[in-house]
Structure 1
Amino acid sequence: MYTQWKTLNLRSTGLGKDPVAGCIVADDEWWEEQNKAMPGCIRFRTAPLEYEDQMRIMFESVIVTNETSYVPSGDGNVDVDEHDVVDVEGTNDREAHKAPSSSERRASKRPAPSSPKGKKKKTFRDQCMKHLVDAYELKAQSSKHSATSQVVDHVRDEIGNMLEQVIKDGAEEGSDEHFYATQLLQKKENRDVFITLKTPNGRLNWLRRAWEIRKKH
């Protein structure tokens, strides 16, 4: 259904949409033409696709519309392996009733090679589902990584701003106070205290004393 809805929207460029129902506004001839090309899509004449946002997340990365590709129709469980197709129309009635020769009779008695147990050929539907699951997991991992990166960058920027303040207060890079700051400000509770201090001397004195307390522990 999502493929049909997406294809209809691509083909309806230049047409309007019902502001209330959200359906494509087109005449009978246009809808008849689309329904011939995609049987069943006429349902979208009176109602848009439900849960479009959720379906877009699941299918967008693997979807193929009728505008860009042709996919043969058929049962969802059709085997993908094209070598499994068997031609059964090459015989006629006379050949069907032909008596088997002695060599054919011997061959028919041989046991057919057994297929490995536990192995099931992947169907077209199985492969589609795997693509959907992989795409969803990739999107979830990407979102999680993006959120984590934002948190890390925020902390780094906060520490960087505080170290700049230490330098402005008179503690140059390489000084004892600047080194104390690089160690102490890694902890959130120290940053929370540092940001409340109002004067340069107050901040530098706090760094010295906090460092002395840390060494004792």
Structure 2
Amino acid sequence: MGDSADWNEDNTALVCELFAEQVKAHNRSGTHLNKTGYKNVMDKFKEKTGLSYTKMQFKNKWDKMRIEYTNWKRLSKETGLGWDTAKKTWSATNERWKNLNKQYKGIAKFKDGPLLHEEEKAIMYEDIRNTGDDHWAPSSGTTPQILEGETTENTDDKDGDYEANDDKDEDYEECEEVSPTTAKGKRHVSVGRKDKGKKPRSLGGHWVQDQLSKLVTASEKSTASVESLARKEDNGCSIRDVMALVKECGAVPGTKEHFIASQVFVKRAEREMFMTLDTPEERFNWLTMKHDWLTRMSH
């Protein structure tokens, strides 16, 4: 086997057929095939093509096609699009396609033609497709989040690349040390190592005023640092903020996903875990699995 997977049209058509076959055989757990499903696909694909691809290469292909299928379905929810009978796809101005592609990465590929192998992909993805963010319209006032592929191991696959963003840490200024003493109710101010071992200077008026100014400055810096840290910790993780994301990912009031969110997100740890998920689709699936898991635990 080479270092990369060759997903030409014939190989893509075959893998769609094999994926759909395993879903119909109930070999999908959650949003992906289970171990048995992937093994069956790997064995049959090798038998028909002579190519021996890894499970991760098949998983990357599954993820890529899942995004394509979701984007194709989104187009049917967009207002103002026409239908091009010649190309068998939706028609729009170049500017509209450009804006759509900013909102949903990769969706502009359908400008030139329809989704291929839609019947097999409907079997593979339709019942797990996140429909919540398909209903976005410009009048909603909120900006939809771009659906990215699920994070996977980095493999040499000609279909696409996966990227990761690194967070930057914030630095906080240190305050001068201020330590109390019990000797006659006075306070001792540490003013730096270079004064260590030297005799205290006479507490003249100017020196006292200078030290008080330093104390005020240090206190202001300390307060600002604490407030900045508190804002950083609370930013986007309040119950109100998290429940807004719950609705945006499709878990609207009345669904089991919205109900379980209202129960578990009173705990900050649960909210923080939810905020680590990057896409609306991941959040919706997490809520579904959380509900199912807690339901089983209660029986």
TM-score by length of 2: 0.25
- Greater RCO (Cα-Cα under 8 Å, separation 6 or more): 2
TM-score by length of 1: 0.34
